[in-house]
Structure 1
């Protein structure tokens, strides 16, 4: 489906009746409508106030690609703790440095309650991150030992995000909104050196809902200039597949929804030594190889919660066929993949 097929986003994801609206939407919903959700346990009894609070999860992420650097920024609220990171990857040097934050039980951070407006922020003596959402426009403010930035992420005219909601588990749901191939305006200073933004691209991710207590996913993302076109790609497997999926390809802002994909790779092969990922679809529209160059990783084992997180930076080769049947060849396109297990 291209962006010409219109399914307007609802004002509220959850209606006053308690009904959750599922499917793909054209544009962000203005409100999640959490106050309307009737959360029940597996025996169809109303969930406790504690379950209502602790079972809701949310995270926001922005990736930035310039000719010299890749920047990844995230804030996650898993109720027990809030965590965040900002990494800086030097493409030529193949080196990665990061700043991270960890806050207990909702203290010292906040999340945007709406996919289209609000503020998410976290800070400590190391620095701060802030995502400001204004009428669907994403703004990013960074202050870390390596990076100072005040940026706005701008889509092509009339470009639509991928916004969708699926049932999750027995009585939960997950809303996911992503948009890649976005231009940047503002200022970006890395290691006290101003960076030009005329060839920089970005993408964002807003995800929230009553997610599975134990979950895992594989993910791929590209923001790149390929054959004089700006492309964006989001592929995932393991989540958001109960009814529809989040796989989408943007070409100069035009959105093309894709079918399910498979990820083939080895978790036990060192990422630098011959670790090649294959990402493909059964219908032949996606056939990609990914060669990792570096990795941002974290393992947390905190009794109630566990996380095994690896986000790889590397290069994609292969092709994608869009909804119009046009084949787009990729050669050494810089992008990200992720392998993540969470118990939260």
Structure 2
């Protein structure tokens, strides 16, 4: 993949569509040129940004998100005990217009959510990422460091919206602790990854998503509003683009096995859920339907069509089925 541009859009206002290796330092949709430029009021209601972080060990999986919807904000966090197969801590809070969430303009900036009795802070300094969470007796202190494997930057158009950019990380070595329900979970030796997204999206947006990482192997897959733009495989430090992703699953039985594969023949995996986090919201002017099964992937991936398959065995990660009217 070509190296990531230093800023999006280009100085002439045109977004550089494609998949790139590395991080961009700024995403500023106010500088868009025609045909993707939009008025300030339109951008206010359609600009969506989120920072999601996953923390995985053999014992626990945590998902944390800070979301700026433009006209309001939200945050959630959970801890899933993989031995008990149960969610042992959960937090969800909507903000107010101009209050609650602050999401950075690029993947290496600071993001935070504050509410009475709760705070989440995420930031990066010199390749070291830190997450601190204090939410109603649920606490996380996590640190993880960038590796030589590059970030993915994907930029593309969005039907019904304008443009979207996202940065996905490979697996990174993790240290820290989760405290909840009278228990302590050590994160040392685990793997962290993140998803930073920033775009001008349609009012109705839906997707299926899958992500899982070790330090040597990981992937990000999406089918829905962003097509195949963000589909990628990390293998032994290499970043490899993937084709369109297919999610074969029973929406009425999301804890049944999923089959996830790509149409270029480079990835074919079975996902076995261990449990799930689910949340449905109806805010009158907005609504969301969300389920994120937590579990493990087994199967194979390939670095190229003629390459030998690399076995994947019980790689911890998530799938997701998400619809938002926002």
Normalising by structure 1, we get a TM-score of 0.86
Match of 1:138 in 2: 129
Flag the 1:307–1:102 CA change in 2: closer, same or farther, 3 A. Answer: same
Deviates more, 1:210-219 or 1:138-147: 138-147
Are 2:144 and 1:190 equivalent residues in the alignment?
A: no
Kept after mapping to 2: 8 A contact 1:129/1:143: yes
Are 2:240 and 1:250 equivalent residues in the alignment?
A: no
Q: CA deviation at 1:152?
A: 2.7
Flag the 1:77–1:318 CA change in 2: closer, same or farther, 3 A. Answer: same
Alpha-carbon distance between aligned partners in 1 of 2:146 and 2:309, rounded to the nearest angstrom:
23
Match of 1:160 in 2: 150
Counterpart of 1:180 in 2: which secondary structure?
coil
Q: CA deviation at 1:195?
A: 4.3
Flag the 1:301–1:169 CA change in 2: closer, same or farther, 3 A. Answer: same
Match of 1:300 in 2: 281
Alpha-carbon distance between aligned partners in 1 of 2:113 and 2:161, rounded to the nearest angstrom:
31
Alpha-carbon distance between aligned partners in 1 of 2:125 and 2:196, rounded to the nearest angstrom:
14
Deviates more, 1:143-152 or 1:252-261: 143-152
Counterpart of 2:170 in 1: which secondary structure?
strand
Q: CA deviation at 1:283?
A: 3.0
Are 2:19 and 1:24 equivalent residues in the alignment?
A: yes
Superimposed CA distance per residue, residues 280-336 of structure 1 (whole angstroms, 9 cap, x where no aligned partner): 123322211112221111111222211101111112221111238241212332210
Deviates more, 1:324-333 or 1:54-63: 324-333
Flag the 1:155–1:327 CA change in 2: closer, same or farther, 3 A. Answer: farther
Q: CA deviation at 1:209?
A: 0.9
Q: 2:301 aligns with which of 316, 320, 330?
A: 320
Deviates more, 1:27-36 or 1:192-201: 192-201
Alpha-carbon distance between aligned partners in 2 of 1:155 and 1:251, rounded to the nearest angstrom:
15
Q: 2:169 aligns with which of 175, 179, 183?
A: 179
Alignment of 1:36-185 (within 5 A): 36-38=31-33, 47-96=38-87, 97-117=89-109, 119-134=110-125, 137-156=128-147, 158-169=148-159, 172-185=162-175
Match of 1:329 in 2: 311
Kept after mapping to 1: 8 A contact 2:47/2:201: yes
Are 2:266 and 1:285 equivalent residues in the alignment?
A: yes
5+ residue gaps, structure 2: none
RMSD across aligned positions (CA) = 2.2
Alpha-carbon distance between aligned partners in 2 of 1:189 and 1:105, rounded to the nearest angstrom:
30
Kept after mapping to 1: 8 A contact 2:53/2:63: yes
5+ residue gaps, structure 1: none
Alpha-carbon distance between aligned partners in 1 of 2:5 and 2:142, rounded to the nearest angstrom:
28
Normalising by structure 2, we get a TM-score of 0.91
Q: CA deviation at 1:146?
A: 4.8
Equivalences, count? 323
Superimposed CA distance per residue, residues 62-83 of structure 1 (whole angstroms, 9 cap, x where no aligned partner): 0000121101000111123211
